[in-house]
Amino acid sequence: MWPTSRTHYAGRRVERAVAIEDLRRAAHRRLPAFVAEYLEGGAEREVTLARNRDAFSQRTLAPRALVDVSAVNLSTTLFGQTLPLPLVVAPTGLNGLLTDQGDLRLAAAASQAGVPFAQSMVSMATIDAVAARLHTPHWMQLYVLRDRDFVLHLIDRALAAHCSALVLTVDGPVYGNREWDRRHYVRPAVLGWPSRIETLAHPRWLADIWRRGRGPRFVNVEAFTGTRMSAPQTAHWLRERMDASLNWNDLAWLRERWPRLLIVKGLLAADDVRRAIDAGVDGVVLSNHGGRQLDLVGSPLDLLPEVASFAKGRIALLMDGGIRRGSDIAQALALGADAVLVGRAALYGLAAAGEDGAARALAILADELARTMALLGRPSVNALDETIFACEAEPRPATTNGRRSVRVA
């Protein structure tokens, strides 16, 4: 008899989470609505947000039988360094709103898993503090502001902290129209009263966030401005100073000033990848910013085969967007990615249970990837290629994404 109802585990014992969705449900129970919306939401109708997930359902896998998979090897080489897992923790901002010292806890989980950690420019921990938590590669993400002195300041601090890579995000010349996020505010940086009152229903979250007697702040921005601002105020300050004139000449300028690995994140056109290669970058991340910038664009997964046909082996080819399963990682690698960046999946764990939750999220993805590879009959990452797919599935109608609630019981 099929059970009359199925429920995901959403409790505090993260070891009981068996899938990323369990951690997502637990995160939603703990977070106030405005924070959960920031974590989950996308731009406008959120079509791209849905496409990122749908892309992983379009292909049919074709397992090989009678292959020795007694020892599945998940390790890969990225930028000349061996990693135990083809995964990078993506740069994400405002993690201090998910849990106290969120960036440090997420970095510690990445270090425990042995994978690189990309720190966001709008993280809520200093570059030095994150570096102290890491025993794995430390990447620093950059948005370019009109004030180039800020860019040079951040570069100097990243070099001093021994960051091995700079990740330039290029898909944010203006802020995406995240309508559902905006509805929580009466004006920029000011929460409406319904959202304020709803927040009071989450005392455990409030006690955690304010345990140090102050809310989280963008300390790397404050180090440059010398001005103490609340997180919403600083976010507004940054939005007003984004450089919408950023162009290929600026990439050349940055290449001259950054002597280590340079990665460009946010490309969605093959011709742009070619130009990035010609500009001397070391890697690119195919990305639509998690569906949070321009709606109606395609999934990075679908662009991978075309880009891999000319970029594979010349630069590191990375992608992000919608990864929730180990089988998603396997598909990305088979289509040409050298590794994937994981954002929301790790943040669900972080929001649910701090460092332990983030570590559990990464462990779930690793376990699922190993199981997927074994069942496919591919005992190593290098054996993942387009032969894992059967004939292409018939195209499915585009998802019509009605509004979902960010609150999960």
In the annotation, is 236 catalytic?
no
pLDDT at 99: 96
Contact 170, 286 (CB under 8 A): no
Residues 211-255 have pLDDT tens digits of: 876 778 888 888 787 777 777 777 777 888 889 999 999 999 999
User: Any idea of the CA torsion for 183, 187, 188, 192, to the nearest 10 degrees?
Assistant: -60
Give the sign of the dihedral formed by CA 42, CA 242, CA 262, CA 362.
negative
Q: Give residue 36's pLDDT.
A: 96
What average pLDDT is seen over the chain? 92
**Confidence check: pLDDT of 370 > 80:** yes
pLDDT in tens, 160-208: 999 999 999 999 888 899 999 999 999 877 899 999 999 999 999 999 9
What is the per-residue pLDDT across 89-116, written as a single tens digit (0 to 9) for each?
999 999 999 999 999 999 999 999 999 9
Mean pLDDT, residues 71-100 taken together: 96
Tell me, letter by letter, the H, E, C secondary structure of 234-264: HHHHHHHHECCCCCHHHHHHHHHHCCCEEEE
Q: Name the 3-class secondary structure at 61.
A: strand
Binding residues for glyoxylate: 38, 143, 178, 289, 292
User: Beta 138-142 vs 165-169: how paired, if at all?
Assistant: parallel
Residue spans of beta strands (DSSP E) within 248-402: 261-267, 283-286, 316-319, 339-342
Out of 138, 184, 202, 289, which one is annotated catalytic?
289
CATH 3.20.20.70 for domain 14-179+238-388, yes or no, is: yes
Compute the average pLDDT of residues 116-135.
95
Would you say 94 and 178 are in contact if contact means Cβ atoms under 8 Å apart? no
The ranges assigned to domains in the chain are 14-179+238-388
> In the chain, pLDDT over 70 holds for what percent of residues?
94
Read off the tokens for 185: 């505010």
Binding-site annotation, residues: 38, 91-93, 120, 141, 143, 169, 178, 265, 287, 289, 292, 320-324, 343-344
Could you list the residues known to form a binding site for FMN, using ranges.
91-93, 120, 141, 169, 265, 287, 320-324, 343-344
The reported pLDDT for the residue numbered 392 is 58
Q: Which pLDDT does position 135 carry in this prediction? A: 95
Q: Residue 265's closest CA among 168, 340, 143?
A: 168
Residue type for position 274: R
Query: What is the distance between the alpha carbons of residues 103 and 173, in angstroms, rounded to a whole number?
Result: 24
Give the per-residue pLDDT at 317: 98
Three-state DSSP class for residue 167: strand
Arithmetic mean of pLDDT, 52-58: 97
- The answer to whether the Cα torsion of 128, 130, 136, 137 is positive or negative is negative
Provide the pLDDT for residue 391: 72
Q: Write out the E strands in 173-255.
A: 185-187, 190-191
